[in-house]
Structure 1
Amino acid sequence: MNLDELKSVANAIVARQKGVLAADESSPTIKKRFDSIQVESTEENRRRYREILFTADGIERYVGGVILFDETLRQCTREGVPFPKLLAGRGIIPGIKVDQGAKALALCPGDKVTEGLDGLRERLAEYKQLGAQFAKWRAVIEIDERDLPSAFGIRANAHALARYAALCQEAGLVPIVEPEVLMDGAHGIERCEVVTAQVLQAVFAELDFHRVQFEGMLLKPNMVIAGKKSVQQAGVQAVAETTIRCLKRYVPAAVPGIVFLSGGQSAEDATDHLNAMNAMGAHPWQVSFSYGRALQAPVLAAWRGQEIHVAAAQRALLKRCRLNGLARDGQYVRAMEEAA
């Protein structure tokens, strides 16, 4: 895939009113999700749940891409249609999570670094053959009020993200670059902005060093937001303005789109913040979403592992997708939650 093809895929994922459904939970993570609704995390239950997501009527209007887990990329519908083929047939681009999780960074207490570069070139070739057109790698940036992350922790993760992105473009896959500054902790929005700025500056420097073509990638950052334990939580407009200010300083205009992670926000808050950013006017890049829990939490609550609730679960997914599609245009208001 040449640069024009990479650009075409990236732009299709963040086309007007569209974003990304993150359905790439690892086996331990989806077990936690299933535990919350008292459903056993068997391979068949995981397959069926993803099938419910991917076959929901109307989501293709608002979902440009879906991130899959390795297991899910290889699974099929009840009728035997591979999930990547099912999604592509609906005009939704299939993607794949390729990192192998964050581990403690040696000799840097509190910092983590994401692993999975060994053998990645070969895995990417296989994933492309299985139907993936983009990939995702998440770097986990621990943050506190003063010491974390260390300068080397930022550098190590930026370097890994850049190596991953270069390998993706070499293989003809659009890389989604995800440096997540966590919203856990008691830090304020000001501290989050400082760290997010440091991380974005380091990441784009490394991407440039590694010759990654910015036009053929997407960025999946955190919003600039106070930690969950902070006594001072910024309002919606403050989050939007601070986030956009930070991104405009450090994200090149050549990047086609920014697809925010929800990072543990409620479904409504994530949509509200996305809407406020788009209501501010045109930005250098598409400002979109790549939500996991913020799209799926209502689906799990409606489904509860029972076939009689499938239609309700799919309606819950379509509702969240539609509301985030409206937020892409700055046309969402909270009153729509009840009306929907």
Structure 2
Amino acid sequence: MSTYFNCPSRSVIDELVHISTMLMSPGHGILITDESPLQLEKKLEIFGIECSEEMRAQYRNMLFSAKETMSDYISGIAVHPEVLDQTTSNGCALHCQVRRKNILVGVTVDKGLVPILCSYGEFTTQGLDDLAVKCAEYKDCGCDFTMWRAQYNIGEFTPSYLAIIENANTLGKYAAISQSKRMLPILEVDVVPSDDNDLERAEKVTETVLTAIFKSLSDHHVSLEGTLLKVPVLNSGSKCAKRYSPGQIAKATLRLLRHTVPAATGGVILHADDNTEDKTLCQLNAFAADPSPKPWPITFCFDGTMQSSIFMAWAGKSKNIEKAQQDLLKMLGAFSQAAQGTYVPGSMKSLANQCYCKKPLKAFKTKPAPLPDDCVKYEEISRPPPVLAMSAKTEQPEKLEIEISKEQTIANDPAPNLSVENVEKVENVENVENVENVENV
């Protein structure tokens, strides 16, 4: 195997390490506002807000124009490419408001999930075709990092080897292209639990997935110092009989990360969504308070599923902007405390916790189109054959005894009376020597 290849230059690596250090500042997280226009309109519709491009711009402007103290809690904001073309009422670009607060801006560059052929409900991510051109444009617009999402579904026979290798190779190519344009890649690895898997099953699946991903990063000569990993905390399925405490989940997740994530990695971004803000904050606080070794910096992300109280406070009205911004800063401050292990359980009381059921928020996650009916599913080609229990008594000896008794009856009667009833008996006997006598009937 040839060992001659080109690696990223030292100037590129130094720039990526500088971006990584800024994003992983202690006590700072990343605000995720990368919803597509369709996803954001679904949110607006649920909260009774008018769905239009103008309202999408107003909502994002409300987030980005918060007070300067927002930079005390977050170090970066991930946006959808649509945001880079939107402006405020005075003609200023929306994302420029964030950059003035010394907050880095990133953009989600993937183009969504597509089904893998002949798989059992598994997907890969598309968007590599013109990625290099897009990254160069985003860098010119002032963006410093990119995000790419890969999804793995935990099931009885999933994720399959095909899905693991396909997504790992795609992530490796994406990271190499992003770093070549001097933009830090954030690998968003989304391992979706099934209804009944336990914590041990989730840990084993995630370990296998992350091992393949970092092998692919090495094959594509990606600089780990200039790469961040975004993963969800391990959790069991909703119908699992076992229940785990935040401390147990934190220990299992940190053990998994130490087994799979090299120490040279720039950092780990944890995604926790435990139905309510307070439970999520308690989960993040458990990670910070856990004394287990952490060879890489760890921070949090504040994504769309945690922003329901902000929608409720804003309600699409200009007079409520300041109120919604105060709620946002309050929420970010609590997440910053949890990232440092100083959050007091029960101290965060948001509007969503008090009067809103978050089950409808599950619809925010875009689900790819189902597979066609005539597609061969992975279950049909890989499911092992059922194992039948062996009975104590088989039917074969009885059949042999009946055949032997019939042959003895025919042999004892040299000139059998071959009536119609006898013919029916002869038909069930194999290898009868007097078959010629049947022709006379």
- Give me the TM-score of the superposition, normalised by structure 2: 0.74
Structure 1 residue aligned with 2:96: 85
Q: What are the Cα deviations for residues 100-154 of structure 1, in whole angstroms up to 9, with x where unaligned?
A: 111111111211101111111111111111111000000011112x211111111
Structure 1 91/54 Cα, relative in aligned 2: closer, same or farther at 3 Å?
A: same
Tell me if 1:72 matches 2:83. Answer: yes
Alpha-carbon RMSD: 1.7
Question: What CA distance in whole angstroms lies between the structure 2 residues aligned with 1:315 and 1:323?
Answer: 12
Structure 2 residue aligned with 1:318: 329
Tell me if 1:117 matches 2:117. Answer: no
Choose which of 247, 262, 279 in structure 1 pairs with 2:272.
262
Choose which of 237, 244, 247 in structure 1 pairs with 2:254.
244
Structure 1 309/231 Cα, relative in aligned 2: closer, same or farther at 3 Å?
A: farther
Structure 1 250/113 Cα, relative in aligned 2: closer, same or farther at 3 Å?
A: same
Q: Which stretch shows the higher mean deviation, 12-21 or 277-286?
A: 277-286
Question: What CA distance in whole angstroms lies between the structure 2 residues aligned with 1:247 and 1:17?
Answer: 20
Structure 2 residue aligned with 1:210: 220
Q: Which stretch shows the higher mean deviation, 266-275 or 118-127?
A: 266-275
Structure 1 residue aligned with 2:150: 139
Give the letter aligned to residue 333 of structure 1. V
Structure 1 residue aligned with 2:23: 13
Question: What CA distance in whole angstroms lies between the structure 1 residues aligned with 2:70 and 2:240?
Answer: 35
Offset, 1:211: 0.6
Offset, 1:273: 1.5
2:106 touches 2:145 (CA, 8 Å); kept in 1?
yes
1:262 touches 1:294 (CA, 8 Å); kept in 2?
no
1:267 touches 1:293 (CA, 8 Å); kept in 2?
no
- Give me the TM-score of the superposition, normalised by structure 1: 0.95
Structure 1 residue aligned with 2:109: 98
> Structure 2 matches for 1:11-90, cutoff 5 A?
11-57=21-67, 58-90=69-101
2:278 touches 2:346 (CA, 8 Å); kept in 1?
no
Choose which of 149, 174, 179 in structure 2 pairs with 1:164.
174
Choose which of 329, 347, 350 in structure 2 pairs with 1:336.
347
Question: What CA distance in whole angstroms lies between the structure 2 residues aligned with 1:80 and 1:105?
Answer: 43
Structure 2 residue aligned with 1:308: 319
Give the letter aligned to residue 232 of structure 2. N
Offset, 1:266: 3.0
Q: What are the Cα deviations for residues 191-248 of structure 1, in whole angstroms up to 9, with x where unaligned?
A: 1111111111111110111111000011001111112343433211111111111001
Give the letter aligned to residue 187 of structure 1. N
Bigger Cα Rg = 2
2:278 touches 2:349 (CA, 8 Å); kept in 1?
no
1:174 touches 1:217 (CA, 8 Å); kept in 2?
yes
Three-state SS of the structure 2 residue aligned to 1:38 is coil
Three-state SS of the structure 1 residue aligned to 2:232 is coil
Question: What CA distance in whole angstroms lies between the structure 2 residues aligned with 1:237 and 1:337?
Answer: 20
Give the letter aligned to residue 276 of structure 1. A
Offset, 1:280: 1.2
Q: What are the Cα deviations for residues 4-43 of structure 1, in whole angstroms up to 9, with x where unaligned?
A: 1101111101101101000001122212211210113211
Give the letter aligned to residue 299 of structure 2. S
Question: What CA distance in whole angstroms lies between the structure 1 residues aligned with 2:211 and 2:225?
Answer: 17
Three-state SS of the structure 1 residue aligned to 2:348 is helix
**Count of matched residue pairs:** 339
* Amino-acid identity (%): 32
Structure 1 119/69 Cα, relative in aligned 2: closer, same or farther at 3 Å?
A: same
Give the letter aligned to residue 15 of structure 1. S
Structure 1 residue aligned with 2:418: none
Give the letter aligned to residue 28 of structure 2. K
2:272 touches 2:283 (CA, 8 Å); kept in 1?
no
Offset, 1:289: 1.2
Question: What CA distance in whole angstroms lies between the structure 2 residues aligned with 1:297 and 1:226?
Answer: 24
The runs of 5 or more residues in structure 1 that have no matched partner are none
> Structure 2 matches for 1:170-209, cutoff 5 A?
170-183=180-193, 185-209=195-219
Q: Which stretch shows the higher mean deviation, 275-284 or 173-182?
A: 275-284
Structure 1 232/28 Cα, relative in aligned 2: closer, same or farther at 3 Å?
A: farther
